[in-house]
Every structure is written in structure tokens, then in C-alpha cells.
């Protein structure tokens, strides 16, 4: 490592160019960091302990088609099912739908089942009881309460669309959750009573709590088999898969993320390759001097690659830090309620970002570095800078 | 009479480039004994730099033999040559060629980074070399903060810091004013007389030749018969 000072000194020699390079690598690595974090949250993260115990049953055709509430009795008979309870997406409008944060997630549920189902959430017992016993009560997540400065006793008006009518809910509880909690839950009864007779008794989904994670496949198959020949055939999947499936309605998010990331990597590779070629070309003569002093081609290769890698890693580190700030924002946003457990600071993702940055540095400078390290001394010394 | 430190026999260097065929050196046979201060003179394009590069093994001959410090340079690999040059040859350029990002002390330390010395030893040696050329008070200066003459003295310090037996200089005073040139020549002369270094210096300056123990003339790539 006796060459580190020289490498750092050299990389800092054309400050403007170095800063621009660091900035462009930083921006791309930031983008990449966000992509990787989202990708791993959706497709690579292990379900949390409680999450692995939850299944979601929905209509096989689409989420937009309801299921009969009466399915519950049959589901409850399936071995391994501990709780089966409906949850229905309410939609509706809070104040002004054009403001993104007003479109937080809200569901009608059975109040007494909500907290047994989401055992990882915590709420004071008296608030829970108030929610169970007051028909127009609602509970909200800590994130939502903070975002709107809602307090116990506040009223939240919602204008229904899927379920027409004007509803007003009283905040009776605020719960804490380890993941994003831009969420609102209220009593299914309150909504049902405002509906005409023919609209009652239908739900979006059933949330199932099973007795052990290893039973999830068997229980899911059993539920779907049960209703295969009914008018409303079901699709049962893990909560995690359900959340991902929900987002996939936006398009093939997964391929989108992969392609964007690849394009970002490729572009930044070209940009930094150009920069590195330029800075090596300016220093051919110096390479000749170093060789005259006895530096071998290998050492020179190491110096040039080291410089490119140092610059890239600086960019990668800055980009990664910015990406965590962005992710924090995403997690707190109303959208965050849909995301599966998102790790804002994940050492694995940090390592991946830095490794990718280092790789970019290496690849972008490999060709000019090899050229310079192999250049004959006399040729190199004749080059004018 | 001491044994020759440099020995060439029919040394030839041809450049082939885009149909052009240049014979830069032709059948140069030469012996330079240890402890000499030799100047190489001759018109532009006569092959002086080329000969110096071959002696330093910075380039390979196309014909003939060359032995320097007991090594047949044609038999060494590129890696071996790099180490050999680091240890045995100090090279001084007309354009100084210091690294602008390094201080005087760091520039002089650079060749020692290829040795087994630790940092304290390297800095001590580098400071000693700079003291020797009269720049003990400029250790932390960057090249742009030095005059041309001072830069060339730093370059001399860099060339001698590994204590090489052979010092090669290609027009070391070519970019200097008379006073600075005089200083540089005085230092080289001292290195030759007091430290026993063998020096081969290319120069156009007849005055510089006064410091030499021997003068060789090249013309169109050929060594002129010794006048002295
Ligand atoms: N790398 C090269 N490729 C092609 N021709 C070269 C190369 N190096 C030197 N030559 C040619 O070889 C001849 C001798 O060049 P050299 O540099 O040795 O001359 P010199 O005596 O040092 O001249 P000067 O006093 O101008 O420095 C010249 O004709 C030159 O054009
Ligand atoms: Mg020359």
C-alpha cells in the first residue's frame, strides 16, 4: 500500500474532472442502490416471522372481483387455519386526491381480528378495546399519525367511491409497526350498513393466519381446491407474494428494474471509460518517467487501475448514502404502506454498490491502463503533454 | 586502469516506421571505464539520446552487443531490466520530468518505493539526497514552486537516491540559464569526483565538456575516432 498516497494524489490532480466523474458515478450508483433495495425487498427478502404465517385469499380472476363472505366458514374448517378474516380495500377520497399523501392505504376489517392477525403490531389495550367496541372508530399507523399530525379523538372524513357515501371515522387507536405504517383500518360493519342489501356480504380478500410457516403451501392449496368449482374461484398466496403481485399490476416491475439498472451501469461505464482514457493519455509521458525509475508494467497497471477504482468507489459510496436518504423517503411516503419490509440501510446492498462501483472503475480503465503499462519507454517519453 | 563499466560492440539501432528506415546508431563500439565523466556530443539527430537509452536499457538494440555493469542487457527480461535500472542507473532528463503532484521529498523518495526500505528509511535517504544537491530547505515544495535549476537538482537527487553506480544525463542543462547550468554541472562533477559515480552526459554545450574526463563525438549515428 505504499503507492496509495501517489494514487490518491493523482486522482485529485484534475479536481473538476474528478468531481464530475465522482458525481456522475454517484448519481448512477444512487439510482442503482434504490433499484437494488426495491428489488431485494420484493423478491429476495425473507418474510418476517409473522408475515410467514399469513396468507391472502383473493378472487382468482382479479382483485377487483369480490369473494362471498360466506367462504369464511369453509376456510376456517381447513386444518392449520387459525384465523380467517376479511379485509377490503376501501379506496375513497380523503380531502383532495390530487395530493399524493392523501391516498394512504385504508381497509375495512373485523376490529377484533386485526391485532391477533398482525401480532407484530403494538397498541395499548384500552385503544384496542375502543376500536373493537365503537362502530365508527378507526385505528391508524404511527407513520400516518405523524404525517397528518392526527391524534386520538380526531375525526377523519372519507368520501367513498367503491362504497358510496360520506363516512367519518374517529381515531381511537394508534399502532406501532416495525415496517411502514401509513395505514388506516376501520370496522367493516360501519361500511356494510351504509350499503344496499345486495352489496353486503362480499369482500376483497381474506387474511388467513396459519399455525406454522411450513403449512403455508398445504393450506393455500387446500383453500384453492375447496373453491375451484365455485363461481368465485380463489387464489391463495403468501402475504409477501400478494404484495408483490399487487404492485405487478403496474407492469412488469421486476424486468423494468433489471433493465433500468443494466442501462444505468452500461451508460456510466461508457462515461467513465471516456474519462479514464483521457486522463491516462495526458500522462503517457509520466508513465515513461516511472518506467525509467524502474517501475514495472505491473506496478503501473496497478497505479492506474487503483486510481480509477478509488474515484469510482468514492462515487459509489456517495451514491449509496444518497440512495438511503431516498429510500427513507419512499418508505415514509403513502406508497410505503404497500412495500414489503424495506431495509433502508442494508450492509449487503452497500457492499454490492461499492463492488459494482469498483468494477466500473476497473473495467473503464482496463484498456487505457494496459496500453500505458505496455507502452515502450522511449515512445512514452517522446509524447508531449 | 579500471575495468569498463559500459562496453558496446557494433551496437546498432534502426527505426522502422511507415516505410521510413532510420539508422540512429551504426556499429558503435565503445568502452567506458568505471569512474569516468564522459560527455557525448554531436549534432541534432546524431543518435546521442538513442545511445543513452540503449545504455540504460530503456530500449533494445537491433544489432551488436552491449554490456553494462557486467550484464549482457540483451539477455535480461523486461522485469529484470526494470529492477536492474532501479538499482544501478540514475537517469536525468532535459525536461526534469518531476511528478507535479508530489513534493520534492516525495519525488526523490519515489524510486525507493520499489526497494525494501521502510518509510522512515526512505524519507531519510531522500532528505540526504536533497541535502546533497543543496535543497535541504525545500523538501515540502512542489515542482511548480521551484525554479528550473532547483527542479533539475531535485531530479538529480532522484537519480542518485538509490545510490546507483551509473548516472546518465540527456542534456541536463539544456533548459537552464547559465548560472543554474553551472550549479548542475558542479553537482555532477562532485558526484563523479567525490562519490566515484560513472557519468555519461549528452550535451551541446562545449563549456560543459570542460567538466568531463573524456568526450565522445557522434555523427550520423557513428562514433567519431577519439580526438584526445
Ligand atoms: N522512436 C523513434 N522512432 C523513429 N525514429 C527515431 C526514434 N527515436 C529516434 N529516432 C531517429 O533516430 C535518429 C537519432 O535520434 P536521437 O534522438 O538519438 O538524436 P539526438 O542526437 O539525441 O538528437 P538531439 O540532439 O536533437 O536530441 C534521429 O534521426 C531520429 O529521428
Ligand atoms: Mg537527444
Exposure of B118 by Cβ count < 10 A (0-12 exposed, 13-18 middle, 19+ buried)?
Answer: exposed
According to the model, what pLDDT value does residue A179 have? 81
According to the model, what pLDDT value does residue B131 have? 97
Element holding A10 (H helix, E strand): helix A4-11
Is residue A9 within 8 angstroms of chain B, CB to CB? yes
Which of chain B's residues have a Cβ under 8 Å away from the Cβ of A297? 78
Is residue A4 within 8 angstroms of chain B, CB to CB? no
Of the residues A231, A262, A297, the one at which a domain ends: A231
Q: Is residue A249 scored above 70 in pLDDT? A: no
Q: Which atom of ligand 1 is nearest to the CA of B47?
A: 18
The answer to whether position A60 is within a domain reads no
- Spatial contact of B22 and B14, defined as CB atoms under 8 Å apart: yes
- Host domain of residue A299: 4-46+252-382
CB neighbours of residue A126 within 10 Å: 10
A149 and A186 both lie in a single domain: yes
The answer to whether position A55 is within a domain reads no
According to the model, what pLDDT value does residue A335 have? 65
The answer to whether position A331 is within a domain reads yes
Task: Tell if the CB–CB gap between B58 and A292 is shorter than 8 Å.
Answer: yes
A75 and A205 both lie in a single domain: yes
In Å, how far from its chain's centre is CA A11?
Answer: 35
A167 and A292 both lie in a single domain: no
In Å, how far from its chain's centre is CA B100?
Answer: 21
The answer to whether position A53 is within a domain reads no
Q: Is residue A2 scored above 50 in pLDDT? A: yes
A67, A117, A62, A81: which is closest to A223 by C-alpha? Answer: A81
Q: Is this structure's pTM higher than 0.80? A: no
Of the residues A183, A200, A231, the one at which a domain ends: A231
Lining ligand 1 with CB less than 6 A are: A 378; B 15, 17, 22, 24, 42, 44-50
Distances (CA, A) of B40 to A13, A157, A357: 37, 98, 52
According to the model, what pLDDT value does residue A338 have? 61
Alpha helices in B39-118 (DSSP H): 48-55, 78-88, 104-109
Domain B4-223 has CATH 2.40.160.40: no
Mean pLDDT score, A235-257: 73
Buried b (16+ CB within 10 A) or exposed e, A10-25: bbebeeeebeebbebb
* Sign of the dihedral through C-alpha B94, B99, B100, B103: negative
Pick the residue with more confidence: A132 or A341? Answer: A132
Distances (CA, A) of A36 to A178, A227, A246: 21, 38, 19
| pLDDT tens for each residue of A281-334 | 988 999 999 999 999 999 999 999 999 999 999 999 999 999 999 888 877 776
What's chain A's average pLDDT? 89
Q: Is residue B20 scored above 90 in pLDDT? A: no
Q: Which atom of ligand 1 is nearest to the CA of B13?
A: 12
> Quick one: pLDDT band at residue A337, thresholds 50, 70, 90?
low
Residue where the block lists cell 380531502: A95
Of the residues A165, A200, A231, the one at which a domain ends: A231
Of A267-271, A380-384, B153-157, where does mean pLDDT reach its minimum? A380-384
A168 and A292 both lie in a single domain: no
A274 and A154 both lie in a single domain: no
C-alpha grid cell for residue A268? Answer: 456510466
Which of chain B's residues have a Cβ under 8 Å away from the Cβ of A2? 113, 119
**Domain range summary for chain B, segments of one domain joined by +:** 4-223
| pLDDT tens for each residue of A69-87 | 999 999 999 999 999 999 9
ipTM of this complex: 0.95
- Spatial contact of A319 and A28, defined as CB atoms under 8 Å apart: yes
Task: Tell if the CB–CB gap between B82 and A291 is shorter than 8 Å.
Answer: yes
> Quick one: pLDDT band at residue B207, thresholds 50, 70, 90?
confident
According to the model, what pLDDT value does residue A246 have? 64
A370 and A257 both lie in a single domain: yes
B197, B209, B204: which is closest to B32 by C-alpha? Answer: B197
Ligand 2 ion: nearby residues, β-carbon < 5 Å? B 49
A17 and A142 both lie in a single domain: no
* Sign of the dihedral through C-alpha B11, B16, B22, B24: negative
A225 and A266 both lie in a single domain: no
Task: Tell if the CB–CB gap between A377 and B82 is shorter than 8 Å.
Answer: no
Domain count, chain A: 2
A173 and A212 both lie in a single domain: yes
Q: Is residue B228 scored above 50 in pLDDT? A: no
According to the model, what pLDDT value does residue A242 have? 77
Q: How close is the Cα of B216 to the center of ligand 2, in Å? A: 15
Least CA distance to B160: which residue of chain A? A293
Q: Angle formed by the axes of helices A253-281 and A347-374, to 10°? A: 30
CA separation for the pair A325, A344 (Å, rounded): 8
A181 and A281 both lie in a single domain: no
A75 and A203 both lie in a single domain: yes
CB neighbours of residue B152 within 10 Å: 29
| pLDDT tens for each residue of B164-180 | 999 999 999 999 999 99
A37 and A124 both lie in a single domain: no
Task: Tell if the CB–CB gap between B110 and A294 is shorter than 8 Å.
Answer: no
According to the model, what pLDDT value does residue A250 have? 54
**In this structure, are strands B63-68 and B71-72 parallel, antiparallel, or unpaired?**
antiparallel
Amino acid at each position: 500500500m505504499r503507492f496509495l498516497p501517489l494514487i490518491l494524489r493523482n486522482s485529485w490532480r484534475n479536481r473538476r474532472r474528478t468531481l464530475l466523474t465522482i458525481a456522475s458515478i454517484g448519481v448512477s450508483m444512487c439510482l442503482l442502490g434504490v433499484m437494488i433495495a426495491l428489488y431485494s425487498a420484493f423478491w429476495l427478502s425473507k418474510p418476517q416471522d409473522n408475515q410467514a404465517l399469513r396468507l391472502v385469499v383473493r378472487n382468482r380472476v382479479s382483485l377487483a372481483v369480490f369473494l362471498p363472505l360466506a367462504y369464511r366458514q369453509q376456510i376456517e374448517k381447513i386444518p392449520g387455519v387459525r384465523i380467517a378474516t376479511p379485509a377490503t380495500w376501501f379506496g375513497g377520497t380523503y380531502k383532495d386526491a390530487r395530493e399524493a399523501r392523501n391516498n394512504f392505504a385504508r381497509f375495512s376489517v373485523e376490529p377484533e381480528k386485526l391485532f391477533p392477525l398482525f401480532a407484530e403490531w403494538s397498541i395499548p389495550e384500552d385503544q384496542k378495546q375502543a376500536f373493537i367496541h365503537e362502530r365508527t372508530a378507526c385505528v391508524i399507523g404511527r407513520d400516518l399519525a405523524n404525517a397528518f399530525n392526527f391524534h386520538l379523538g380526531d375525526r377523519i372524513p372519507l368520501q367513498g367511491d367503491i362504497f358510496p357515501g360520506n363516512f367519518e371515522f374517529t381515531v381511537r387507536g394508534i399502532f406501532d409497526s416495525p415496517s411502514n405504517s401509513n395505514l388506516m383500518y376501520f370496522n367493516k360493519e360501519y361500511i356494510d350498513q351504509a350499503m344496499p342489501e345486495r352489496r353486503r356480504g362480499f369482500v376483497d380478500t381474506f387474511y388467513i393466519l396459519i399455525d406454522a410457516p411450513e403449512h403455508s403451501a398445504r393450506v393455500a392449496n387446500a383453500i384453492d381446491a375447496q373453491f375451484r368449482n365455485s363461481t368465485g374461484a380463489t387464489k391463495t398466496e403468501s402475504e409477501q407474494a400478494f404484495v408483490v403481485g399487487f404492485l405487478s399490476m403496474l407492469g412488469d416491475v421486476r424486468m423494468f428494474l433489471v433493465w433500468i439498472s443494466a442501462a444505468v451501469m452500461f451508460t456510466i461505464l461508457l462515461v467513465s471509460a471516456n474519462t479514464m482514457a483521457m486522463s491516462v493519455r495526458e500522462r503517457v509521458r509520466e508513465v515513461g518517467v516511472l518506467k525509467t525509475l524502474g517501475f514495472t508494467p505491473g506496478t503501473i497497471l496497478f497505479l492506474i487501475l487503483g486510481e480509477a477504482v478509488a474515484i469510482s468507489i468514492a462515487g459509489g459510496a456517495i451514491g449509496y448514502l444518497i440512495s438511503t436518504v431516498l429510500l427513507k423517503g419512499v418508505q415514509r411516503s403513502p406508497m410505503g404502506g404497500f412495500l414489503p419490509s424495506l431495509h433502508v440501510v442494508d450492509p449487503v446492498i452497500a457492499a454490492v454498490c461499492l463492488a459494482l462501483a469498483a468494477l466500473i472503475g476497473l473495467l473503464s480503465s482496463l484498456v487505457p491502463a494496459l496500453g500505458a503499462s505496455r507502452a515502450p519507454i522511449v515512445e512514452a517519453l517522446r509524447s508531449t503533454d | 586502469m579500471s575495468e569498463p563499466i559500459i562496453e558496446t560492440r557494433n551496437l546498432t539501432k534502426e527505426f522502422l516506421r511507415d516505410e521510413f528506415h532510420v539508422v540512429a546508431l551504426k556499429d558503435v563500439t565503445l568502452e567506458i571505464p568505471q569512474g569516468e565523466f564522459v560527455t557525448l556530443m554531436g549534432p541534432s539527430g546524431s543518435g546521442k539520446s538513442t545511445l543513452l537509452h540503449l545504455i540504460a536499457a530503456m530500449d533494445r538494440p537491433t544489432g551488436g552487443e552491449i554490456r553494462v555493469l557486467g550484464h549482457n542487457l540483451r539477455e535480461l527480461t523486461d522485469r529484470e531490466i526494470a529492477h536492474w535500472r532501479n538499482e544501478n542507473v540514475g537517469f536525468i532528463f532535459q525536461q526534469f520530468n518531476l511528478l507535479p503532484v508530489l513534493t520534492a521529498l516525495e519525488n526523490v523518495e519515489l524510486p525507493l518505493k520499489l526497494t525494501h526500505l521502510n518509510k522512515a528509511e526512505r524519507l531519510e535517504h531522500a532528505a540526504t539526497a536533497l541535502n546533497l544537491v543543496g535543497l535541504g530547505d525545500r523538501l515540502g515544495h512542489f515542482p511548480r514552486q521551484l525554479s528550473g535549476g532547483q527542479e533539475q537538482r531535485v531530479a538529480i537527487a532522484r537519480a542518485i537516491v538509490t545510490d546507483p553506480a551509473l548516472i546518465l544525463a540527456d542534456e541536463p542543462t539544456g533548459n537552464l540559464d547559465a548560472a543554474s547550468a553551472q550549479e548542475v554541472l558542479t553537482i555532477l562533477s562532485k558526484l563523479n569526483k567525490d562519490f566515484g559515480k560513472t557519468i555519461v552526459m549528452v550535451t551541446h554545450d562545449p563549456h560543459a565538456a570542460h567538466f568531463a574526463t573524456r568526450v565522445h563525438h557522434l555523427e550520423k549515428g557513428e562514433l567519431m575516432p577519439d580526438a584526445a
